[in-house]
Amino acid sequence: LNYRAARFLISAPTLATCPEDSGAEVAFAGRSNAGKSSAINTLTGQKALARTSKTPGRTQLINFFALDDERRLVDLPGYGFAKVPESVKLEWQRHLADYLQHRQALKGVVLLMDVRHPLTEFDQMMLGWAEQAGLPLHLLLTKADKLKRGAATNALRQVERALAGRTEQVEVQLFSSLARQGLDTLEARLNGWLRG
C-alpha cells in the first residue's frame, strides 16, 4: 500500500459524523505529545498531514485520511494535558470508546507511547478498550532516538513483559520519526490489516 498517497478526508467529532462505515481503516491513538502526529507525517511522507503540538483543551476531532477509495488512516484524539477539564476528558473517552467498539471498518489500532514513559493510564485504558472490542494492537515505542540502543531495547523488553498474558494480537516495536527507525515494521503490520 502507498501511504504517501494519504489525503485528508474529513474531521468528525463523533461516531455519527464519521465517513460511511465500509472498507478498512487503521486508527492511531496516543497520549498528547506521544509523537502521533510526527509518526503519521513520517509514514505518509508529508510534513503537515497530521498537525503536531495541538493546543490543549481544543475540541478534539477524529481525523480521517484516505489512502484510496476503500482504505483509511484515522487520527484519534489524544489527551493528557492537566489543563483539560475532567468533563471534557470524559466526553472524549465516550467518543473514543464508541468509535473503537462500534466501527466495523476498524481493523486494528496503533497505540503510540513515548519509549521513556510507556503504559500510562491513557494507554491502559486504550489497551482495555481494544481488547474488549477484539481489535489487534500495534504498539509504537516512540522517540527511540532519545535513548541509547541498550536502554531502548530494555524498555521494549519491559513493555513486552508487561503485556505478556494479554491478547496475542499485541505486537510492540521501537520507533523514531526523527531517525526514521521502525517504518518497515509498521508498514508491514498496517499492510496486513488493510489488505485483509
Contact (Cβ atoms closer than 8 angstroms) between residue 24 and residue 104: no
Binder to ligand GDP among 36, 71, 95, 138 (CB under 6 A)? 36
24 or 80, CB closer to ligand GDP? 80
**Candidate list 145, 158, 162, 185; residue touching ligand GDP; CB under 6 A:** 145
Instruction: Please tell me whether residue 37 binds ligand GDP under the rule CB under 6 A.
Output: yes
Q: How far is the CB of 174 from ligand GDP (least distance, A)?
A: 10
In the block, which residue shows the cell 526514521? 180
User: Contact at 8 Å (CB) between 144 and 185?
Assistant: no
Asked if 44 touches ligand GDP (CB under 6 A), the answer is no
Closer residue to ligand GDP in complex, CB, 32/101: 32
Using alpha carbons, select from 114, 49, 108 the residue that is nearest to residue 80.
114
Nearer to ligand GDP, 24 or 46 (CB): 46
Contact 76, 104 (CB under 8 A): no
Selected binder of ligand GDP within 115, 143, 152, 186 (CB under 6 A): 143
| Contacts of residue 16, Cβ cutoff 8 Å, sequence gap at least 6 | none
For residues 30 and 108, which CB has a smaller minimum distance to ligand GDP in the complex? 30
Is residue 34 part of the contact set for ligand GDP (CB under 6 A)? yes
Give the three-class secondary structure for 155: helix
Q: Does 78 bind ligand GDP (CB under 6 A)?
A: yes
Beta strands 71-75 and 24-30 are: parallel
Q: Minimum CB separation from ligand GDP for residue 163, in Å?
A: 21
Helices (H), 30-120: 36-44, 86-102
Under 8 Å between Cβ of 182 and 144: yes
Confirm or reject binding of residue 116 to ligand GDP (CB under 6 A). no
Residues that bind ligand GDP (CB under 6 A): 30, 32-38, 52-54, 78, 142-143, 145-146, 176-178
